[in-house]
Amino acid sequence: MYEDYQGSTDEELIDRLRQGEKQITDYIMDKYKNLVRRKAKSMYILGADSDDLIQEGMIGLFKAIRDYDAGRDASFYTFADLCISRQMYTAVQASRREKHAPLNSYISLYANLAENEQEENENADTALVNRLTSGTDTNPEALLIDKENVADIEAAIEKELSSFEKQVLDLYLTGMTYSQIAKVLGRDEKSADNALQRLKGKIRRAMHKSHMMIAVGLVCLLWPLQAFAEQEMTRVSVEAAPMEISLPDDCYILQQEIAEDDPYLQKAGGDLDKIEAYYKEAGIVLNAIAQDDSYEIVVTVNENQDVTYLYNMHSVPDESVRELAQTIQNTYEEHGYTVDDFSLYENETAKYIVFSFGQQYEEKAVQCVQYDTIRDSRMYNITLRSYTGEVSDAMEEMLREVIDSIVYTQNEEALTYENEQWGVSYELNPGWKEITSDQDADIQAQYMHTNGLGESVQFIARDIWGEMDMLHQLTNTRGELDGDRELTPEELHKLYPYLGDFFAGEDTVTQKKIQDNWYFVSDTPLEYSSDKLQGVYQQKTVAALRQGILYVWQYGAYEDGNLHETDYDYMIQGITYQQPELLQKDAQIYQNMVRKIPLLIFGGVVILGVLIAAMFLYIRGGKETII
């Protein structure tokens, strides 16, 4: 139904929609529904469920289709992403308005708070009313004063915050990162960061003026900012990762590239060459050292060559992650570390294995908490090393805040691939990272998207004709193994055996002309599932067969996770071909053979002449003997 639209860009489709092709609206709504679902998972709307947020997101998507202006706005994807986020944010804000408070926040006094059946049987006072009345603050006068104090603080915060700061506060409390807040509000990240810095000061002053304990409800509401306010933080961009991270202001911060006049160089030992060499060898991309030497935070990034199925830990089942964690724990213990049990932690950005372990360093006991994750086949380790003999609660809270601040940034440059041997070149949009793989010699290039959700692209090339033996090469020329034209069903059937590994069946394969080149395509993706994968992984294939050379491009994603499939489509549209060096070598071999033909003929004539002369002499000699 939508085949006519799949080869066009979103911007081209919007233009066609404006010209009257109304069905394009349904196509774009269906195409971007997975993006809406993904965003809905990262937000919470009071008094409703995720379906309501999805509905709001689809409304935002419809508005994006309706209002998009190619001459004014960025790409449609960027514009749609913004409209969807804003629509959802508006819904979240509306759900928190005071007129909805009774429906959204009231809890029955007789609600059962038992966490399990055993607790309910052992403790009769599991009702909320019993828990509330068992405390010490039962004095009505004290409760009234507390209530008034809470109201005073809320009023002070309301009065102190600007309209923009209130919006930032609302979004921050939903769990959004700096980048997401900036995108939703249409501001740059520095503005969002500055607003949060102002917020923490204003809230701290409002709390200080009150001279009292905060009621439980307000503490729960302001907990993210309260923790944020306790420690001044600095936003740092780590190019070698790449990532952005917030670190305490009381730290000396060093990265892989260190200037000779860096004031923090002495803190790390003073020898620039040795430090840089050590950092690069160990994969250390950032080292934050507390000014009082009580702790340091070390971030390392290394290529993950051992666990091939874990390109992105975020998209792998917890059971498989626990298996990896057990392996890492055993390795640490083999190296003499005292490892406590591990745990898993997942936020919007990544899934982490959390280790607590001790080690000896210069005759001192060092206690560590380490967060490990894998993204784009790279292992990230964020480790807090405490030199005080323990990792205090305050240190753990600070480290968790650092972890939650991390934004794994995208590659801002397009990836260009050019291979003279195969005679092909293409370009992949920003946001993808090339990875290395030794699983298949035919894989020429492989990429993972930096969103960490498991989206992949790979390019495969095989010289089908060159792999044949000489007899088959004589009976099948390169020209006969060519699909760069419209084929008959019989011709397609003859060529399918060379394509079969990449498609779900011969009956699913058709031909499609894209930018004057013919390709083999299919609407039925290959599907993979195992206990190592979180859900069903689907792979879409576009293949070309040109002069005996098979070119294959595959895009893989989990169900409902194909957020950047359009990048793959744009890449296919931009493929260009040149004369492959393989064919040039074939031509050289042929020319050398042609040059040798006269020599071969001359040699054959000489040999034939010698044989004739030998036979003549033999016959003549025989006759003379008879006489």
Give residue-wise pLDDT tens across range 73-119.
567 887 888 888 878 877 776 665 544 444 444 444 444 444 444 54
pLDDT of residue 588: 57
**576-577 vs 424-428, strand pairing mode:** antiparallel
Would residue 100 count as lying in a domain?
A: yes
Same domain for 529 and 468? yes
Residues 6+ apart with CB under 8 A from 192: 168, 178, 181, 182, 185
Measure the CA–CA gap between 411 and 573, rounded to whole angstroms.
Answer: 21
Residues 6+ apart with CB under 8 A from 391: 356, 367, 368, 369, 384
Task: Check pLDDT > 70 for residue 183.
Answer: no
Task: Over range 460-464, report the average pLDDT.
Answer: 93
Task: Over range 591-599, report the average pLDDT.
Answer: 61
Would residue 619 count as lying in a domain?
A: yes
Q: In what order do the strands lie in the sheet with 424-428?
A: 415-419, 424-428, 576-577
Of how many residues is the chain composed?
A: 627
Contact 551, 454 (CB under 8 A): no
Whether the upstream peptide bond of residue 140 has omega within 30° of 0, thus cis, is no
Query: Which of 405, 430, 448 marks a domain boundary?
Result: 405
**CA neighbor of 104 nearest in space, from 45, 33, 20:** 45
Would residue 203 count as lying in a domain?
A: no
Would residue 273 count as lying in a domain?
A: yes
Please give the residue that has the higher pLDDT: either 125 or 606: 606
Query: Token digits for 124?
Result: 């009769």
pLDDT of residue 505: 93
Question: SS3 for 338?
Answer: strand
* Confidence bin at 380 (pLDDT 50/70/90): very high
Burial code of 273-283, b = ≥16 C-beta within 10 A, e = fewer?
Answer: eebbeebeeeb
Output the pTM of the full model: 0.47
- How confident is the prediction for the chain on average, in pLDDT? 77
Beta strands in 268-350 (DSSP E): 284-290, 295-303, 338-339, 343-346
- Neighbouring-strand partners of residue 321: none
Measure the CA–CA gap between 627 and 554, rounded to whole angstroms.
Answer: 85
Same domain for 122 and 47? yes
Same domain for 171 and 78? yes
pLDDT of residue 88: 81
pLDDT of residue 136: 47
pLDDT of residue 64: 87
* Confidence bin at 379 (pLDDT 50/70/90): confident
**Residue that the structure tokens 């894209």 belong to:** 514
Measure the CA–CA gap between 109 and 106, rounded to whole angstroms.
Answer: 9
- For 216-275, the pLDDT digits (tens) are 444 444 444 444 444 678 888 888 888 889 999 888 888 877 766 666 666 556 677 777
pLDDT of residue 497: 92
Q: What phi, psi does 255 have (nearest 5°)?
A: -120, -175
Q: What phi, psi does 523 have (nearest 5°)?
A: -85, -5
Q: What is the DSSP letter of 127?
A: B
Query: Token digits for 102?
Result: 């009774």
Would residue 563 count as lying in a domain?
A: yes
Number of domains in the chain: 4
pLDDT of residue 414: 85
Measure the CA–CA gap between 315 and 319, rounded to whole angstroms.
Answer: 12
Task: Report the share of the chain in percent with pLDDT over 70.
Answer: 71
Please give the residue that has the higher pLDDT: either 123 or 15: 15
H runs (alpha helix) in 300-367:
318-334
Query: Token digits for 332?
Result: 């640490």
pLDDT of residue 365: 83
Lowest mean pLDDT among 140-154, 184-198, 481-495, 511-525: 140-154
Contact 19, 575 (CB under 8 A): no
**CA neighbor of 577 nearest in space, from 442, 483, 464:** 483
Same domain for 620 and 522? no
Please give the residue that has the higher pLDDT: either 397 or 312: 397
Task: Over range 115-128, report the average pLDDT.
Answer: 49
Please give the residue that has the higher pLDDT: either 593 or 569: 569
Same domain for 570 and 484? yes
pLDDT of residue 308: 43
Would residue 200 count as lying in a domain?
A: no
Same domain for 241 and 137? no
Same domain for 391 and 242? yes
Same domain for 429 and 368? no
* Confidence bin at 577 (pLDDT 50/70/90): very high
pLDDT of residue 133: 43
Same domain for 419 and 298? no
Task: Check pLDDT > 80 for residue 1.
Answer: no
Contact 192, 182 (CB under 8 A): yes
Task: Over range 574-578, report the average pLDDT.
Answer: 94
CATH number of residue 376's parent domain: 3.40.1000.10
Would residue 1 count as lying in a domain?
A: no
Same domain for 389 and 513? no
pLDDT of residue 42: 63
Instruction: Pick the most confident of 329-338, 471-480, 580-589.
Output: 329-338
Same domain for 120 and 82? yes
Would residue 4 count as lying in a domain?
A: no
Measure the CA–CA gap between 151 and 143, rounded to whole angstroms.
Answer: 12
Contact 407, 464 (CB under 8 A): no
User: Which domain covers residue 610, as residue numbers?
Assistant: 589-627
Query: Token digits for 263?
Result: 């004031």
Q: In this structure, is the dihedral angle defined by the CA atoms of residues 593, 599, 602 and 603, taken in order, positive or negative?
A: negative
Please give the residue that has the higher pLDDT: either 336 or 552: 552
- Residue 21 identity (one-letter amino acid): E
**CA neighbor of 36 nearest in space, from 50, 17, 48, 46:** 50
pLDDT of residue 416: 93
- Residue 569 identity (one-letter amino acid): D
Same domain for 473 and 394? no
- Residue 361 identity (one-letter amino acid): Y
pLDDT of residue 254: 84
pLDDT of residue 423: 94
